Amino acid sequence: RAPRIAVVGRPNVGKSTLFNRLAGKKLAIVDDTPGVTRDVREAKSKLRGHDMTLLDTAGFENARGDKLEARMRAGTEGAVMDADIVLFVYDARAGITALDRIFAEFVRKSGKPTVLVANKVESSAADVGITEGYSLGMGDPIEVSAEHNIGIVDLDDAIELAL
Ligand code: GDP
Ligand code: MG
């Protein structure tokens, strides 16, 4: 099967925007409301001639049980376990939050090849957050702006290296 690339991270960091950017189409719903992506979405895509399947996820919420947030989390964790490569996205303007750290730990423990993505870097408000990303233990953050189409070539390089 084509390598599966899961886009994960807490709600509102720009996962769906990045997924659409990488898929080259507007497939996922982008919204300011955290958690608007409820199910895992798939898109077939090509990266420099390599077939791959992109997965957009609902995002990590810190909840267990049968609430919506818990289902989102379970779906996202399932997508990580099913992935060949994980893109761990955070909002560099917001910096690294407690929730980012909790889920970075989950992704690290999964042992999956991971690319750390610092999103929303189009303004200097992201500078501190970019630096904070180094503390996640996932390597150097790749700096992108999914919305403004910045850094996507560097991200493609990092994905290609991980393939
Ligand atoms: P998700 O919940 O992680 O899927 O996040 P979305 O893709 O739905 O985006 C959440 C919000 O962040 C939306 O308002 C997007 O327009 C915005 N957003 C996404 N990428 C960027 C970016 O690169 N820069 C800025 N400033 N906003 C972004
Ligand atoms: Mg989304």
At a CB cut-off of 8 Å and minimum separation 6, what does 130 contact? 92, 118, 121, 141, 143
Q: Alpha-carbon dihedral of residues 98, 102, 108, 114, nearest 10 degrees?
A: -60
SS3 category, 46? strand
- pTM here is 0.92
Q: Is 9 annotated as a binding residue?
A: yes
How close is the Cα of 56 to the center of ligand 2, in Å?
7
* pLDDT at 69 (0 to 100): 74
- Report which bound ligand comes closest to the CA of 119: 1
| Neighbouring C-beta atoms of residue 102, cutoff 10 Å | 12
SS3 category, 66? coil
Domain boundaries, the chain: 4-162
* pLDDT at 61 (0 to 100): 66
Task: Say if domain 4-162 classifies as CATH 3.40.50.300.
Answer: yes
Query: Whose CA is closest to atom 5 on ligand 1?
Result: 14
How close is the Cα of 39 to the center of ligand 2, in Å?
9
45 CB within 6 A, ligand 1: no
How close is the Cα of 146 to the center of ligand 1, in Å?
8
73 CB within 6 A, ligand 1: no
Average pLDDT across each block of 10 residues of the chain; the chain has 163 residues. List them in order: 94 94 79 62 90 87 68 81 96 96 93 97 97 96 98 97 93
Please give the ipTM for the structure prediction. 0.99
